[in-house]
Amino acid sequence: MNNTEKENAVVAVDSSDTVSARRKFFKKASAVAVAAPLAGFPMISVAQSPIILKMQGAWGATDIFNEMAQEYVKRVNEMSAGRLRIDYLTAGSVVKPFEVTDAVSKGVLDAGHTVAVYWYGKSKVASLFGSGPVTGANAEQTLGWIQRGGGIELYDELLKNLKLNIKGFFAFPMPVQPLGWFKKLPPRNGKELVGYKYRTVGLAADLMQEMGMSVTQLPGGEIIPAMERGVIDAFEFNNPTSDRRFGAQDVAKYYSMGSFHQSMEFFEIVFNKTKYDALPADLKAILKYAAEAASSSNSWTAQDNYSRDLQELIVKDKVRVVRTPKEVFEAQLKAWDKITAKLESEDPFFKKVVESQKAWARRVAYYGFLNDADFKSAYEHVFKIKLPF
């Protein structure tokens, strides 16, 4: 064999060994690849079906509150990255608005977007998490009591006392609700409220009854038909946008802004506790903190829409909008004193919750009053107008 043949033979032998070696290498590499996740390497994710929660709101199909509920749903669905999905339904899809809490507790619904005053028939303490009595603190400060001042613990205690299988969160410190809609010039003092057939909810119903009104509690979608049939002749719901969307301006032309009947309300976002407890910790956290995020978003949505629709009511719909007189506010405060004293004497837990609210308000509202600027004067200065109220 000459030198060239020897060199070719060596190459041939090396090539054969190389193929064999490569086969052994890839076989080992394949085994390592299979074991890799056990060694801490990332595993390729496998798509799983999301956990689906059915949530119903307490709001009619056109109410802006549905849009606010969807702001919460959107944040939960995006943050959970496909592992959890809330499907949202409007009022009446499964149960009536005032039935949402029971439906969630019983598991008929997985979740609800509502307000605590809608189930105050179970306990008037529920209304303390959604309307008066007043403490001097506004809605934003009172939501602070829920989040930082012991309110959420008292709320959980109430749910336990009532055997409601619910986990709840709160969002959106609502602007003060108007005194409402009237067919004629609104009352100028407490005495002129006497005799009205009026719609409101929660402890506000107790307040208005104390002031001489005949009160009917109705969900938003039933207000206009009741007004048209004469069941009521005056009402409040919540805000200029909701009111305008369901046609308040078609049945009344006087709108009185400002009141102490519901001056510190919030949304209540509730989940069936059994289903909530079964969720992993990170998804529970998403449900909790999405409520805080939606609270800010809801506030901005309200600022934009409520202010625009108030101007539409004035300019386009020719509604006469007035500021509720100071005499009505004073009469409401006196009525609240009577109602609060009565309910505190009847229910020690009611008194416990009110005292907790007052302790928070005494400190937090004091700071707010002392530190706040005179923005009304600033507004008048900037726009060179004198406001008539």
pLDDT tens for each residue of 194-238: 999 999 999 999 999 999 999 999 988 899 999 999 999 999 999
Q: Which of 32-36, 51-55, 81-85, 363-367 has the lowest mean pLDDT?
A: 32-36
Q: With a cut of 70, say whether residue 342 has pLDDT above it.
A: yes
Question: What's CA 77's distance to the chain center, in Å?
Answer: 16
Task: Report whether 246 contacts 223 (CB < 8 A).
Answer: yes
Q: With a cut of 80, say whether residue 294 has pLDDT above it.
A: yes
Q: Rounded mean pLDDT of the chain?
A: 90
Q: With a cut of 50, say whether residue 79 has pLDDT above it.
A: yes
Tokens at 136, concatenated: 């001097």
How much of the chain exceeds pLDDT 70, in percent?
A: 88
| Measured CA angle at 194 (ends 197, 335), to 5 deg | 105
In this prediction, residues 67-80 reach a mean pLDDT of 98
In this prediction, residues 7-28 reach a mean pLDDT of 41
Q: With CA atoms as reference, report the closest residue to 327 among 259, 233, 237.
A: 259
Q: What per-residue confidence (pLDDT) applies to 17?
A: 45
Q: With a cut of 70, say whether residue 332 has pLDDT above it.
A: yes
Delimit the domains of the chain by residue range: 51-173+265-302
pLDDT tier, 125 (very low <50, low <70, confident <90, very high otherwise)? very high
| Residues 108/112/115/120 CA torsion (nearest 10 deg) | 20
pLDDT digits (tens, 9 = 90+) for 131-176: 889 999 999 999 999 999 999 999 999 999 999 999 999 999 999 9
pLDDT digits (tens, 9 = 90+) for 28-55: 444 333 334 444 444 444 457 899 999 9
**CA pair distance 150, 158, nearest whole angstrom:** 13
Question: What's CA 185's distance to the chain center, in Å?
Answer: 33
**CA pair distance 129, 151, nearest whole angstrom:** 8
Q: Tell me the CA distances in angstroms from 348 to 124, 158, 163, one per residue in order.
A: 12, 12, 18
Q: With a cut of 80, say whether residue 23 has pLDDT above it.
A: no
pLDDT digits (tens, 9 = 90+) for 266-292: 999 999 999 999 999 999 999 999 999
Rg of the chain on CA atoms, in Å: 30
Q: With a cut of 50, say whether residue 367 has pLDDT above it.
A: yes
Answer CATH for 51-173+265-302 from 3.40.190.170, 3.40.50.2000, 1.20.1260.10, 3.40.50.1820: 3.40.190.170
Q: What per-residue confidence (pLDDT) applies to 47?
A: 55
In this prediction, residues 357-377 reach a mean pLDDT of 97
Tokens at 209, concatenated: 């009854």
Tokens at 279, concatenated: 């969720």
Give start and end residues of each alpha helix (H) in 127-267: 139-148, 151-161, 203-210, 223-229, 240-245
pLDDT tier, 246 (very low <50, low <70, confident <90, very high otherwise)? very high
Tell me whether residue 275 is exposed, middle or buried, using C-beta atoms within 10 angstroms of its C-beta: 0 to 12, 13 to 18, 19 or more.
middle
Tokens at 68, concatenated: 């606010």
Q: What per-residue confidence (pLDDT) applies to 27?
A: 44
Largest Cα–Cα distance of the chain, in whole Å? 127
Tokens at 103, concatenated: 């439906």
**CA pair distance 169, 69, nearest whole angstrom:** 13
Residues pairing with 166 in the sheet: 272
**CA pair distance 33, 27, nearest whole angstrom:** 10
Task: Report whether 339 contacts 133 (CB < 8 A).
Answer: yes
In this prediction, residues 107-131 reach a mean pLDDT of 95
Amino acid at 60: G
